[in-house]
Structure 1
Amino acid sequence: MKSADRPSEGKAASSRGANPAAGEALIERAFALLSCFDSENRALPLAGLTRRTGMPRSTALRLARQLTDVGALERLDDGRFVVGLRLLEIASLAPRGHGLRAVAMPFMEDLFHVTGQHVLLAVRDHDKALLVERLSAHDAVPVRFRVGERMALTTTGVGLVLLANAPVGVQEQVLRDFVSGEGDTTIRTTEELRRSLAEIRRGDYAVARRLDPAAPRTTVAAPVRAREGVVAALSVVAPSPEFDPAAYVPAVRATARAISRQLLETEVAR
Protein backbone atom coordinates (compact mmCIF):
# COMPACT_ATOMS: atom_id res chain seq x y z
CA MET A 1 0.00 0.00 0.00
CA LYS A 2 1.29 3.48 -0.87
CA SER A 3 2.01 5.93 1.94
CA ALA A 4 -0.73 8.22 0.61
CA ASP A 5 -3.18 5.41 1.28
CA ARG A 6 -2.29 5.22 4.99
CA PRO A 7 -3.73 8.33 6.65
CA SER A 8 -3.44 6.75 10.10
CA GLU A 9 0.34 6.56 9.77
CA GLY A 10 0.47 10.14 8.50
CA LYS A 11 -1.58 11.25 11.49
CA ALA A 12 0.69 9.40 13.86
CA ALA A 13 3.75 10.97 12.31
CA SER A 14 2.11 14.38 12.55
CA SER A 15 1.39 13.89 16.23
CA ARG A 16 4.99 12.90 16.87
CA GLY A 17 6.02 16.06 15.00
CA ALA A 18 9.37 14.82 13.67
CA ASN A 19 8.80 14.72 9.90
CA PRO A 20 6.30 17.62 9.65
CA ALA A 21 8.62 19.82 11.69
CA ALA A 22 11.50 19.06 9.36
CA GLY A 23 9.28 19.66 6.33
CA GLU A 24 8.05 22.95 7.68
CA ALA A 25 11.61 24.06 8.42
CA LEU A 26 12.66 23.19 4.87
CA ILE A 27 9.79 25.19 3.38
CA GLU A 28 10.60 28.16 5.58
CA ARG A 29 14.26 28.04 4.57
CA ALA A 30 13.31 27.79 0.88
CA PHE A 31 11.07 30.86 1.12
CA ALA A 32 13.73 32.70 3.10
CA LEU A 33 16.18 32.05 0.31
CA LEU A 34 13.74 33.08 -2.42
CA SER A 35 12.91 36.24 -0.45
CA CYS A 36 16.54 37.36 -0.79
CA PHE A 37 15.76 38.58 -4.30
CA ASP A 38 14.23 42.01 -4.86
CA SER A 39 14.22 44.79 -7.46
CA GLU A 40 17.76 45.84 -6.49
CA ASN A 41 19.09 42.29 -6.14
CA ARG A 42 17.81 40.30 -9.09
CA ALA A 43 20.95 38.15 -9.29
CA LEU A 44 22.82 37.00 -6.19
CA PRO A 45 25.95 34.92 -5.64
CA LEU A 46 25.98 32.17 -3.06
CA ALA A 47 27.75 34.52 -0.64
CA GLY A 48 24.83 36.96 -0.97
CA LEU A 49 22.28 34.25 -0.23
CA THR A 50 24.29 33.13 2.76
CA ARG A 51 24.66 36.65 4.10
CA ARG A 52 21.00 37.56 3.62
CA THR A 53 19.55 34.37 5.10
CA GLY A 54 22.13 33.73 7.81
CA MET A 55 22.31 30.11 6.67
CA PRO A 56 25.55 28.14 6.66
CA ARG A 57 27.17 28.16 3.23
CA SER A 58 26.65 24.42 2.76
CA THR A 59 22.94 24.69 3.63
CA ALA A 60 22.36 27.63 1.29
CA LEU A 61 24.19 25.89 -1.55
CA ARG A 62 22.28 22.62 -1.09
CA LEU A 63 18.94 24.44 -0.98
CA ALA A 64 19.80 26.66 -3.95
CA ARG A 65 20.72 23.59 -5.98
CA GLN A 66 17.44 21.89 -5.06
CA LEU A 67 15.47 24.98 -6.05
CA THR A 68 17.42 25.15 -9.31
CA ASP A 69 16.62 21.51 -10.04
CA VAL A 70 12.87 22.22 -9.85
CA GLY A 71 13.09 25.49 -11.80
CA ALA A 72 12.41 27.87 -8.92
CA LEU A 73 15.92 29.28 -9.38
CA GLU A 74 18.25 29.47 -12.37
CA ARG A 75 22.04 29.76 -12.32
CA LEU A 76 23.86 32.18 -14.59
CA ASP A 77 27.17 31.46 -16.29
CA ASP A 78 28.99 33.55 -13.68
CA GLY A 79 27.56 31.39 -10.87
CA ARG A 80 24.99 33.83 -9.58
CA PHE A 81 21.40 32.73 -8.95
CA VAL A 82 18.23 34.35 -10.31
CA VAL A 83 14.54 33.61 -9.84
CA GLY A 84 13.40 30.85 -12.21
CA LEU A 85 10.58 30.90 -14.72
CA ARG A 86 8.85 28.03 -12.93
CA LEU A 87 7.83 30.47 -10.20
CA LEU A 88 6.26 32.74 -12.83
CA GLU A 89 4.27 29.81 -14.19
CA ILE A 90 2.93 28.96 -10.75
CA ALA A 91 2.29 32.58 -9.73
CA SER A 92 0.26 33.15 -12.89
CA LEU A 93 -2.37 30.77 -11.49
CA ALA A 94 -3.06 32.91 -8.41
CA PRO A 95 -6.70 34.04 -8.73
CA ARG A 96 -6.11 37.27 -6.80
CA GLY A 97 -3.31 38.13 -9.18
CA HIS A 98 -3.59 36.78 -12.69
CA GLY A 99 -7.36 36.19 -12.66
CA LEU A 100 -8.07 39.70 -11.42
CA ARG A 101 -5.54 41.15 -13.84
CA ALA A 102 -7.13 39.37 -16.81
CA VAL A 103 -10.51 40.90 -16.03
CA ALA A 104 -9.17 44.35 -15.21
CA MET A 105 -6.65 44.82 -18.01
CA PRO A 106 -9.00 46.01 -20.82
CA PHE A 107 -10.50 48.63 -18.50
CA MET A 108 -7.08 49.66 -17.21
CA GLU A 109 -5.87 50.14 -20.78
CA ASP A 110 -8.80 52.47 -21.48
CA LEU A 111 -8.00 54.50 -18.37
CA PHE A 112 -4.32 54.55 -19.32
CA HIS A 113 -5.05 55.91 -22.80
CA VAL A 114 -7.31 58.61 -21.36
CA THR A 115 -4.87 59.77 -18.67
CA GLY A 116 -1.44 58.98 -20.11
CA GLN A 117 -0.20 58.36 -16.57
CA HIS A 118 0.57 55.39 -14.33
CA VAL A 119 -2.41 53.10 -13.75
CA LEU A 120 -1.98 50.68 -10.84
CA LEU A 121 -3.97 47.68 -9.63
CA ALA A 122 -3.24 46.27 -6.18
CA VAL A 123 -4.65 43.80 -3.65
CA ARG A 124 -4.15 43.66 0.10
CA ASP A 125 -1.77 41.04 1.43
CA HIS A 126 -1.98 41.19 5.23
CA ASP A 127 -0.66 44.66 6.17
CA LYS A 128 0.70 45.57 2.71
CA ALA A 129 -0.66 46.40 -0.73
CA LEU A 130 0.62 44.02 -3.40
CA LEU A 131 0.89 45.47 -6.91
CA VAL A 132 -0.52 43.01 -9.46
CA GLU A 133 -0.48 45.22 -12.56
CA ARG A 134 0.89 48.56 -13.74
CA LEU A 135 0.59 50.46 -17.02
CA SER A 136 2.90 53.42 -17.55
CA ALA A 137 3.56 56.01 -20.25
CA HIS A 138 7.17 56.63 -21.22
CA ASP A 139 6.98 60.26 -20.13
CA ALA A 140 5.00 59.63 -16.91
CA VAL A 141 6.46 60.76 -13.59
CA PRO A 142 9.05 58.20 -12.41
CA VAL A 143 7.85 55.75 -9.77
CA ARG A 144 9.65 52.81 -8.23
CA PHE A 145 6.60 50.55 -8.02
CA ARG A 146 6.98 47.23 -9.82
CA VAL A 147 4.55 44.36 -10.32
CA GLY A 148 4.88 41.97 -7.40
CA GLU A 149 6.13 44.67 -5.03
CA ARG A 150 4.53 45.23 -1.64
CA MET A 151 3.66 48.80 -0.77
CA ALA A 152 2.63 50.48 2.47
CA LEU A 153 -1.09 50.71 3.16
CA THR A 154 -0.70 54.15 4.75
CA THR A 155 1.38 56.01 2.16
CA THR A 156 -0.14 54.98 -1.19
CA GLY A 157 -3.52 55.64 -2.77
CA VAL A 158 -4.29 51.98 -3.42
CA GLY A 159 -3.08 51.16 0.08
CA LEU A 160 -5.39 53.68 1.72
CA VAL A 161 -8.39 52.35 -0.21
CA LEU A 162 -7.56 48.78 0.76
CA LEU A 163 -6.98 49.74 4.38
CA ALA A 164 -10.22 51.72 4.59
CA ASN A 165 -12.12 48.62 3.47
CA ALA A 166 -10.11 46.06 5.45
CA PRO A 167 -11.49 44.23 8.49
CA VAL A 168 -11.58 46.36 11.62
CA GLY A 169 -8.89 44.26 13.27
CA VAL A 170 -6.47 44.95 10.41
CA GLN A 171 -7.24 48.67 10.52
CA GLU A 172 -6.68 48.90 14.25
CA GLN A 173 -3.39 47.02 14.03
CA VAL A 174 -2.12 49.33 11.29
CA LEU A 175 -3.26 52.37 13.26
CA ARG A 176 -1.44 51.08 16.35
CA ASP A 177 1.74 50.54 14.35
CA PHE A 178 1.54 53.86 12.49
CA VAL A 179 4.44 56.19 13.24
CA SER A 180 3.56 59.89 13.27
CA GLY A 181 5.20 61.62 10.34
CA GLU A 182 5.82 58.31 8.56
CA GLY A 183 6.63 58.66 4.87
CA ASP A 184 6.44 61.84 2.83
CA THR A 185 2.66 62.13 2.64
CA THR A 186 0.21 64.73 3.93
CA ILE A 187 -1.05 62.26 6.57
CA ARG A 188 1.16 62.98 9.57
CA THR A 189 -0.64 61.59 12.63
CA THR A 190 -2.69 58.57 13.64
CA GLU A 191 -5.77 60.74 14.05
CA GLU A 192 -5.35 62.15 10.54
CA LEU A 193 -5.05 58.62 9.20
CA ARG A 194 -8.21 57.55 11.03
CA ARG A 195 -10.12 60.53 9.61
CA SER A 196 -8.80 59.84 6.11
CA LEU A 197 -10.02 56.24 6.23
CA ALA A 198 -13.49 57.38 7.27
CA GLU A 199 -13.56 59.92 4.41
CA ILE A 200 -12.47 57.26 1.93
CA ARG A 201 -15.33 54.99 3.01
CA ARG A 202 -17.83 57.83 2.67
CA GLY A 203 -16.62 59.05 -0.71
CA ASP A 204 -15.60 55.66 -2.11
CA TYR A 205 -12.26 57.02 -3.35
CA ALA A 206 -8.94 58.26 -2.00
CA VAL A 207 -6.59 61.10 -2.89
CA ALA A 208 -3.01 60.64 -1.69
CA ARG A 209 -0.18 63.13 -2.09
CA ARG A 210 3.55 62.38 -1.89
CA LEU A 211 5.62 65.42 -0.94
CA ASP A 212 8.94 64.22 -2.34
CA PRO A 213 10.65 67.45 -3.49
CA ALA A 214 12.32 65.67 -6.40
CA ALA A 215 9.10 64.16 -7.77
CA PRO A 216 5.91 65.23 -5.98
CA ARG A 217 2.96 63.17 -7.13
CA THR A 218 -0.72 62.76 -6.49
CA THR A 219 -2.81 59.60 -6.65
CA VAL A 220 -6.54 59.05 -7.10
CA ALA A 221 -7.66 55.54 -6.15
CA ALA A 222 -10.97 53.68 -5.95
CA PRO A 223 -12.08 50.24 -4.70
CA VAL A 224 -12.76 47.24 -6.93
CA ARG A 225 -15.47 44.96 -5.57
CA ALA A 226 -16.51 41.37 -6.01
CA ARG A 227 -19.12 39.26 -4.25
CA GLU A 228 -17.06 39.10 -1.05
CA GLY A 229 -16.49 42.85 -0.91
CA VAL A 230 -13.50 45.02 -1.83
CA VAL A 231 -10.90 42.78 -3.47
CA ALA A 232 -8.57 45.34 -5.06
CA ALA A 233 -7.84 49.01 -5.57
CA LEU A 234 -7.28 50.91 -8.82
CA SER A 235 -5.36 54.18 -9.08
CA VAL A 236 -3.89 56.81 -11.37
CA VAL A 237 -0.58 58.39 -10.33
CA ALA A 238 0.57 61.68 -11.85
CA PRO A 239 2.90 64.64 -11.12
CA SER A 240 1.33 66.88 -8.48
CA PRO A 241 2.00 70.27 -10.14
CA GLU A 242 -0.08 69.39 -13.21
CA PHE A 243 -2.61 67.04 -11.64
CA ASP A 244 -6.09 68.11 -10.58
CA PRO A 245 -7.47 65.15 -8.59
CA ALA A 246 -11.08 66.27 -9.05
CA ALA A 247 -10.72 65.90 -12.80
CA TYR A 248 -9.63 62.26 -12.45
CA VAL A 249 -12.00 61.02 -9.73
CA PRO A 250 -14.95 60.30 -12.08
CA ALA A 251 -12.80 58.33 -14.53
CA VAL A 252 -11.06 56.28 -11.83
CA ARG A 253 -14.31 55.50 -10.02
CA ALA A 254 -16.11 54.60 -13.25
CA THR A 255 -13.28 52.27 -14.28
CA ALA A 256 -13.21 50.60 -10.87
CA ARG A 257 -16.99 50.07 -11.04
CA ALA A 258 -16.70 48.61 -14.55
CA ILE A 259 -14.08 46.12 -13.36
CA SER A 260 -16.29 45.28 -10.38
CA ARG A 261 -19.28 44.56 -12.63
CA GLN A 262 -17.16 42.33 -14.85
CA LEU A 263 -15.84 40.43 -11.83
CA LEU A 264 -19.37 39.84 -10.57
CA GLU A 265 -20.54 38.68 -14.00
CA THR A 266 -17.57 36.34 -14.25
CA GLU A 267 -18.36 34.85 -10.83
CA VAL A 268 -22.03 34.36 -11.72
CA ALA A 269 -21.10 32.65 -14.99
CA ARG A 270 -18.94 30.04 -13.21
Structure 2
Amino acid sequence: MSDFILITGCSTGIGLHLAQRLQQEGFNVLATARKENDVNHLLQSGLNAYQLDLNDEKSIEQAVAWALVQSNGQLYGLINNGAYGQTGAIEDLPTQALREQFNTNLFGWHHLTRLILPGMLKENRGRIIQISSLLGLVAMKYRGAYNASKFALEGYTDTLRLELRNTKIQISLVEPGPVSSQFRSNALAKFLQHINVTESRHHDIYQQTLQRLQNPKPKNPFTLGPESCVAPVLHALRSKRAKTRYGVTFPTHLFAVLRRVLPTRWLDSILCRSA
Protein backbone atom coordinates (compact mmCIF):
# COMPACT_ATOMS: atom_id res chain seq x y z
CA MET A 1 0.00 0.00 0.00
CA SER A 2 1.28 3.48 -0.87
CA ASP A 3 2.15 5.84 1.95
CA PHE A 4 -0.44 8.40 3.05
CA ILE A 5 0.57 12.07 3.05
CA LEU A 6 -1.51 14.85 4.63
CA ILE A 7 -0.97 18.31 3.10
CA THR A 8 -2.41 21.63 4.25
CA GLY A 9 -3.09 24.70 2.13
CA CYS A 10 -3.81 22.88 -1.14
CA SER A 11 -6.15 25.41 -2.74
CA THR A 12 -3.47 27.01 -4.92
CA GLY A 13 0.27 27.45 -5.35
CA ILE A 14 2.79 25.20 -3.66
CA GLY A 15 0.21 23.10 -1.81
CA LEU A 16 -1.82 22.36 -4.93
CA HIS A 17 1.25 21.43 -6.96
CA LEU A 18 2.52 19.17 -4.19
CA ALA A 19 -0.84 17.40 -3.90
CA GLN A 20 -1.10 16.80 -7.63
CA ARG A 21 2.50 15.72 -8.14
CA LEU A 22 2.72 13.47 -5.09
CA GLN A 23 -0.42 11.70 -6.20
CA GLN A 24 1.13 11.20 -9.63
CA GLU A 25 4.22 9.80 -7.89
CA GLY A 26 2.10 7.12 -6.23
CA PHE A 27 1.48 8.55 -2.78
CA ASN A 28 -1.98 8.47 -1.22
CA VAL A 29 -2.49 12.22 -0.90
CA LEU A 30 -4.90 13.65 1.66
CA ALA A 31 -5.31 17.24 0.51
CA THR A 32 -6.87 19.94 2.68
CA ALA A 33 -7.95 23.54 2.16
CA ARG A 34 -9.61 26.21 4.28
CA LYS A 35 -12.60 27.00 2.07
CA GLU A 36 -15.35 24.56 1.11
CA ASN A 37 -15.29 25.70 -2.54
CA ASP A 38 -11.59 24.90 -2.77
CA VAL A 39 -12.17 21.47 -1.26
CA ASN A 40 -14.84 20.81 -3.90
CA HIS A 41 -12.40 21.79 -6.65
CA LEU A 42 -9.82 19.41 -5.22
CA LEU A 43 -12.36 16.60 -5.15
CA GLN A 44 -13.40 17.33 -8.73
CA SER A 45 -9.77 17.15 -9.81
CA GLY A 46 -9.47 13.62 -8.46
CA LEU A 47 -7.82 14.32 -5.12
CA ASN A 48 -9.00 12.96 -1.79
CA ALA A 49 -9.76 16.20 0.06
CA TYR A 50 -11.20 17.61 3.28
CA GLN A 51 -11.76 21.03 4.82
CA LEU A 52 -9.16 22.25 7.33
CA ASP A 53 -8.93 25.77 8.74
CA LEU A 54 -5.61 26.28 10.54
CA ASN A 55 -7.17 29.11 12.56
CA ASP A 56 -9.76 26.75 14.06
CA GLU A 57 -8.69 23.96 16.43
CA LYS A 58 -11.97 22.08 16.02
CA SER A 59 -11.53 22.10 12.25
CA ILE A 60 -7.98 20.76 12.66
CA GLU A 61 -9.19 17.99 14.96
CA GLN A 62 -11.95 16.95 12.56
CA ALA A 63 -9.51 16.87 9.65
CA VAL A 64 -7.04 14.76 11.61
CA ALA A 65 -9.80 12.30 12.54
CA TRP A 66 -10.70 12.06 8.84
CA ALA A 67 -7.04 11.58 7.83
CA LEU A 68 -6.51 8.82 10.38
CA VAL A 69 -9.59 6.98 9.14
CA GLN A 70 -8.45 7.34 5.53
CA SER A 71 -4.97 6.05 6.36
CA ASN A 72 -6.10 3.40 8.86
CA GLY A 73 -4.04 5.21 11.48
CA GLN A 74 -0.83 4.89 9.47
CA LEU A 75 -0.10 8.36 8.23
CA TYR A 76 3.47 8.50 6.89
CA GLY A 77 3.86 12.16 6.00
CA LEU A 78 2.64 15.57 7.14
CA ILE A 79 3.37 18.59 4.96
CA ASN A 80 2.57 21.82 6.80
CA ASN A 81 2.10 24.40 4.07
CA GLY A 82 -1.02 26.51 4.66
CA ALA A 83 -0.05 30.09 5.49
CA TYR A 84 -0.48 33.73 4.46
CA GLY A 85 1.53 36.96 4.73
CA GLN A 86 0.41 39.97 6.75
CA THR A 87 2.03 43.10 5.29
CA GLY A 88 2.54 46.39 7.12
CA ALA A 89 4.99 48.20 9.38
CA ILE A 90 5.17 46.75 12.87
CA GLU A 91 4.12 50.07 14.41
CA ASP A 92 0.90 49.99 12.34
CA LEU A 93 0.10 46.36 13.05
CA PRO A 94 -2.81 45.74 15.44
CA THR A 95 -2.02 43.04 17.98
CA GLN A 96 -5.01 41.07 16.71
CA ALA A 97 -3.44 40.96 13.25
CA LEU A 98 -0.28 39.48 14.74
CA ARG A 99 -2.34 36.92 16.65
CA GLU A 100 -4.12 35.90 13.47
CA GLN A 101 -0.80 35.58 11.64
CA PHE A 102 0.61 33.27 14.29
CA ASN A 103 -2.64 31.32 14.63
CA THR A 104 -2.48 30.31 10.98
CA ASN A 105 1.27 30.20 10.37
CA LEU A 106 2.41 28.55 13.61
CA PHE A 107 -0.15 27.68 16.29
CA GLY A 108 -2.39 25.79 13.86
CA TRP A 109 0.63 23.88 12.58
CA HIS A 110 1.57 23.03 16.18
CA HIS A 111 -1.91 21.74 17.01
CA LEU A 112 -1.96 19.63 13.87
CA THR A 113 1.54 18.25 14.45
CA ARG A 114 0.75 17.26 18.04
CA LEU A 115 -2.29 15.31 16.88
CA ILE A 116 -0.36 13.51 14.14
CA LEU A 117 2.78 12.66 16.11
CA PRO A 118 1.37 9.91 18.38
CA GLY A 119 0.57 7.71 15.37
CA MET A 120 4.01 8.29 13.86
CA LEU A 121 5.67 7.53 17.19
CA LYS A 122 3.66 4.33 17.52
CA GLU A 123 4.77 3.21 14.04
CA ASN A 124 8.28 4.65 14.63
CA ARG A 125 8.35 6.06 11.10
CA GLY A 126 7.25 9.23 9.37
CA ARG A 127 8.23 12.50 7.75
CA ILE A 128 7.19 16.01 8.75
CA ILE A 129 7.95 18.69 6.17
CA GLN A 130 7.54 22.36 7.06
CA ILE A 131 7.19 24.82 4.18
CA SER A 132 9.02 27.82 5.63
CA SER A 133 10.43 30.79 3.73
CA LEU A 134 13.49 32.84 2.94
CA LEU A 135 11.90 35.23 5.45
CA GLY A 136 12.52 32.66 8.15
CA LEU A 137 16.24 33.25 7.56
CA VAL A 138 16.40 37.02 7.05
CA ALA A 139 13.90 39.80 7.71
CA MET A 140 12.51 42.33 5.25
CA LYS A 141 10.81 45.65 5.94
CA TYR A 142 7.02 45.83 6.17
CA ARG A 143 6.71 42.07 6.56
CA GLY A 144 7.23 41.92 10.31
CA ALA A 145 4.31 39.66 11.15
CA TYR A 146 5.23 37.13 8.48
CA ASN A 147 8.96 37.38 9.30
CA ALA A 148 8.20 36.71 12.96
CA SER A 149 5.96 33.71 12.23
CA LYS A 150 8.56 32.10 9.97
CA PHE A 151 11.48 32.83 12.31
CA ALA A 152 9.41 31.18 15.05
CA LEU A 153 8.68 28.22 12.77
CA GLU A 154 12.39 27.73 12.14
CA GLY A 155 13.15 27.58 15.86
CA TYR A 156 10.12 25.40 16.53
CA THR A 157 11.16 22.93 13.83
CA ASP A 158 14.79 22.81 14.96
CA THR A 159 13.59 21.98 18.47
CA LEU A 160 11.20 19.30 17.22
CA ARG A 161 14.01 17.72 15.20
CA LEU A 162 16.22 17.53 18.28
CA GLU A 163 13.46 16.01 20.39
CA LEU A 164 12.70 13.36 17.76
CA ARG A 165 16.34 12.53 17.11
CA ASN A 166 16.12 9.11 18.74
CA THR A 167 13.14 8.11 16.61
CA LYS A 168 12.80 7.33 12.92
CA ILE A 169 10.64 10.38 12.29
CA GLN A 170 12.56 12.84 10.12
CA ILE A 171 11.89 16.57 10.06
CA SER A 172 12.72 18.89 7.16
CA LEU A 173 12.33 22.58 6.39
CA VAL A 174 11.73 23.73 2.82
CA GLU A 175 12.65 27.39 2.46
CA PRO A 176 11.36 28.99 -0.76
CA GLY A 177 12.27 32.48 -1.85
CA PRO A 178 10.05 34.25 -4.38
CA VAL A 179 7.54 31.77 -5.80
CA SER A 180 4.60 32.72 -8.02
CA SER A 181 1.23 32.00 -6.42
CA GLN A 182 -1.90 33.74 -5.11
CA PHE A 183 0.10 34.76 -2.03
CA ARG A 184 -0.08 38.42 -3.09
CA SER A 185 -3.85 38.51 -3.39
CA ASN A 186 -4.25 36.94 0.06
CA ALA A 187 -1.71 39.38 1.51
CA LEU A 188 -3.54 42.30 -0.09
CA ALA A 189 -6.80 41.34 1.61
CA LYS A 190 -5.14 41.17 5.03
CA PHE A 191 -3.27 44.43 4.42
CA LEU A 192 -6.49 46.28 3.63
CA GLN A 193 -8.22 44.67 6.61
CA HIS A 194 -5.69 45.64 9.25
CA ILE A 195 -3.56 48.59 8.08
CA ASN A 196 -4.74 52.20 8.14
CA VAL A 197 -2.87 53.49 5.11
CA THR A 198 -3.94 57.13 5.22
CA GLU A 199 -3.01 57.69 8.88
CA SER A 200 0.43 56.07 8.73
CA ARG A 201 3.78 57.83 8.38
CA HIS A 202 4.55 55.05 5.88
CA HIS A 203 1.77 56.25 3.58
CA ASP A 204 3.99 56.70 0.51
CA ILE A 205 5.60 53.28 0.95
CA TYR A 206 2.17 51.72 1.35
CA GLN A 207 1.12 53.08 -2.03
CA GLN A 208 4.01 51.12 -3.52
CA THR A 209 2.97 48.10 -1.45
CA LEU A 210 -0.54 48.28 -2.87
CA GLN A 211 0.81 48.45 -6.42
CA ARG A 212 3.07 45.45 -5.77
CA LEU A 213 0.33 43.33 -4.23
CA GLN A 214 -2.13 44.21 -6.99
CA ASN A 215 0.33 43.25 -9.71
CA PRO A 216 -0.23 39.59 -10.68
CA LYS A 217 3.22 39.41 -12.28
CA PRO A 218 6.13 39.43 -9.81
CA LYS A 219 8.98 41.84 -10.52
CA ASN A 220 11.68 39.69 -8.93
CA PRO A 221 13.68 38.09 -11.77
CA PHE A 222 14.50 35.09 -9.58
CA THR A 223 10.84 34.12 -9.06
CA LEU A 224 10.15 30.45 -9.74
CA GLY A 225 6.89 28.56 -10.17
CA PRO A 226 5.37 26.58 -7.28
CA GLU A 227 6.52 23.38 -8.96
CA SER A 228 10.05 24.29 -7.81
CA CYS A 229 9.21 22.93 -4.36
CA VAL A 230 8.23 19.47 -5.60
CA ALA A 231 11.71 17.97 -6.00
CA PRO A 232 12.89 18.96 -2.49
CA VAL A 233 9.71 17.57 -0.94
CA LEU A 234 10.05 14.30 -2.85
CA HIS A 235 13.62 13.99 -1.62
CA ALA A 236 12.54 14.72 1.95
CA LEU A 237 9.88 12.00 1.72
CA ARG A 238 11.91 9.34 -0.04
CA SER A 239 15.52 9.78 0.98
CA LYS A 240 16.88 7.43 3.62
CA ARG A 241 18.44 10.49 5.25
CA ALA A 242 16.40 13.59 4.48
CA LYS A 243 18.09 16.97 4.63
CA THR A 244 17.19 19.22 7.53
CA ARG A 245 16.85 22.21 5.17
CA TYR A 246 16.11 22.62 1.48
CA GLY A 247 16.66 26.05 -0.02
CA VAL A 248 14.53 26.91 -3.05
CA THR A 249 15.34 29.82 -5.42
CA PHE A 250 18.62 31.71 -5.77
CA PRO A 251 17.79 34.42 -3.17
CA THR A 252 17.36 31.79 -0.45
CA HIS A 253 20.77 30.28 -1.15
CA LEU A 254 22.37 33.71 -1.41
CA PHE A 255 21.01 35.13 1.82
CA ALA A 256 21.68 31.90 3.72
CA VAL A 257 25.35 32.55 2.94
CA LEU A 258 25.28 36.31 3.47
CA ARG A 259 23.74 36.08 6.94
CA ARG A 260 26.64 33.84 7.99
CA VAL A 261 29.50 35.87 6.55
CA LEU A 262 28.40 39.52 6.66
CA PRO A 263 28.24 41.81 9.71
CA THR A 264 24.64 42.47 10.67
CA ARG A 265 24.72 46.13 9.62
CA TRP A 266 26.06 45.24 6.18
CA LEU A 267 23.32 42.67 5.74
CA ASP A 268 20.74 45.23 6.93
CA SER A 269 21.92 47.64 4.26
CA ILE A 270 21.36 45.01 1.55
CA LEU A 271 17.97 43.97 2.91
CA CYS A 272 16.77 47.58 3.11
CA ARG A 273 17.25 47.85 -0.63
CA SER A 274 15.29 44.67 -1.32
CA ALA A 275 11.74 44.99 -2.59
TM-score range, shorter chain: under 0.3
Structure showing greater radius of gyration is 1
Please identify which structure carries the higher strand content.
Answer: 1
TM-score (norm 1): 0.27
